[in-house]
Amino acid sequence: MTEIPSIQIVVPGSSDITLPQPGEYTIFYEYRSMVDNRIYSTDQDIPGIIVNIVSKDTGDEIPLSTPSTSSTYTIGGRSGIGLFDFSIDKPGIYEISASYPATNGQQEEQTQEIVLAVIHSSVMDHIFGSIMGTVAGAMAIVLVPFAAGIAFIIITFLKRRKARTRTTAQ
């Protein structure tokens, strides 16, 4: 899999995004990314950024939480780190906004553009499921010959011991 199905936005700023299905989503900070043929390569350290999501249908703010698991990826020239998890009950249009925090009552001079990616949990399950399948296959390739070798050694040892026992008994 070389492409990650996601919604990418460049922040600071706000954008309307369409979330096509209900469920769990994760917002990732993509420190290596490409949006509209522009390459973004920023520091891997997570920036201090404030993120909000509001339903355009209801005006309700969607609560964000820290990710339940540490998630990172590097796929197809994109690298990301999980920032927030959130859940929606129905598909729709949502406004996502992100800004750097104010310092001493004034907006901080921080204006570096970064990329956030919004990814549905089913996509992440598929990506990590594919990776785990590959890892399991690689482990089988290594472990099956190893187990066969151990079995061969044990069988050889037992047969030789049995032959020695017969020889000394005669």
Q: Which residues pair with 78 in a beta bridge?
A: 75
Residue 162, domain member (yes or no): no
Please choose, from the candidates 84, 76, 73, the residue with its C-alpha nearest in 3D space to the C-alpha of residue 125: 73
**Residue 63 belongs to domain spanning:** 7-132
Residue 155, domain member (yes or no): no
What's the rounded Cα separation, in Å, for the pair 40 and 56?
A: 29
Residue 97, domain member (yes or no): yes
Residue 141, domain member (yes or no): no
Q: Structure pTM?
A: 0.66
Mean pLDDT of 45-71: 89
Residue 116, domain member (yes or no): yes
Q: Structurally, how many domains does the chain consist of?
A: 1
pLDDT at position 2: 44
Residue 52, domain member (yes or no): yes
User: Residue 103: phi, psi to the nearest 5?
Assistant: -120, 125
| pLDDT more than 70, % of the chain | 76
Residue 66, domain member (yes or no): yes
Q: To which residue do tokens 């820290």 refer?
A: 66
Digit-coded pLDDT (tens) for 101-156: 877 655 545 678 999 999 888 655 545 554 444 544 555 566 666 677 777 788 88
Residue 140, domain member (yes or no): no
pLDDT at position 132: 47
